[in-house]
Amino acid sequence: MAARRRIPVADGRAALAEWSAAAGGAVPRTTTATAVRYSLEELAARAPGNSVEVRVPPFGVTQCVAGPRHTRGTPPNVIETDAATWLSMVTGALPWADAVAQGKVAASGLRADLSALLPL
């Protein structure tokens, strides 16, 4: 089943472009929120599944990557980061490995590696 889009693609791409042009600097919170939510939807569309949960508080969360599905409690594969780090990885400004090495991403579980999926 394909991920349901809540953010129109044009709006999401515009928010990502605005955020990227500002290099993560002064953009309205709503722009950051739209960019994060759109990119999480895009990730779920490109890597459908329920084995990994990606959290970008306070803006959004998604499940992605094919594999075993969890049904209760905290999933075994969780990735959590802040919005600036997430959008930097999505846009290619920050490689996955560097973000993890710098402690900007908390990733637990055998499938909690998005290096093959980022940048989007």
Q: Say what the pLDDT of residue 5 is.
A: 79
Q: Say what the pLDDT of residue 81 is.
A: 98
Summarised one tens digit per residue, pLDDT across range 52-104 is 999 999 999 999 998 877 666 677 899 999 999 999 999 999 999 999 999 99
pTM recorded for the entire structure: 0.90
Summarised one tens digit per residue, pLDDT across range 13-24 is 999 999 999 876
Sequence-ordered list of residues with C-beta below 8 angstroms from that of 34, at least 6 positions apart, any chain? 7, 11, 12, 15
What whole-number distance in Å separates Cα of residue 58 and Cα of residue 103? 19
Q: Which residues is 60 bridged to in the sheet? A: 56
What whole-number distance in Å separates Cα of residue 90 and Cα of residue 39? 7
With contact defined as beta carbons under 8 Å apart, do 53 and 75 qualify? yes
Dihedral, CA of residue 99, residue 102, residue 106 and residue 111, to nearest 10 = 50
Residue 20 amino acid letter: S
Q: How confident is the model at residue 36 (pLDDT cuts 50, 70, 90)?
A: very high
Lowest-confidence segment of 30-39, 50-59, 64-73, 105-114 by average pLDDT: 64-73
Phi, psi of 30 (to 5 degrees): -65, -35
Tell whether the model's pLDDT for residue 38 goes beyond 60. yes
Span 36-47, average pLDDT = 96
Q: Say what the pLDDT of residue 75 is.
A: 74
